[in-house]
Amino acid sequence: MSDLQALEKLEQLGALRLLVLLSEKERYVTELLRGRTNPEGITSQDSLRMCRWELGERGLGLIEEHMEKGPRPKTFLVITEKGRRVAKKIKEIEGILEET
C-alpha cells in the first residue's frame, strides 16, 4: 500500500479526526462511541475498532490502548508522541485551509 493509499484509508475511517481529538484529551472508548446514550460520540463501534487497529495495532504507533483494572474495566486510548506530532501537522493543515 502506498503512502497516499494509507492516508486515504485513515481519512475514510475518520482516524485523522480521532487522532486530533486524542491530542486534545485522552479518552475512554465509550466516550467516542455515538449512540442514544452518547450523542456527543464521533463514530460507531465498528468504525472505532478499525480506527484503533489502523492507528495502533497496524504498526503506525500513533495511539496505545490501556485497559483499566477492576470489575468493569474500560479501555483508555492514549496518543503517543509520534501521534501527537502527526495531530499537530493535521491541525496546521486545517488552519491553512480555514484562511480566507
CATH number of 45's domain: 1.10.10.10
User: What is the spatial distance between Cα 12 and Cα 1, in angstroms, rounded to a whole number?
Assistant: 15
Q: Which band of pLDDT confidence, cut at 50, 70 and 90, is reported for residue 82?
A: very high
Q: What is the mean pLDDT of residues 65-93?
A: 92
The percentage of residues in the chain with a pLDDT greater than 90, rounded to a whole number, is 28
Closest CA to 88 of 62, 54, 65, 66: 62
Q: Residue 32: give the domain boundaries.
A: 3-98
Distance between CA atoms of 65 and 44, rounded to whole angstroms?
Answer: 18
In three-state secondary structure terms, 100 is coil
pTM recorded for the entire structure: 0.79
Number of domains the chain contains: 1
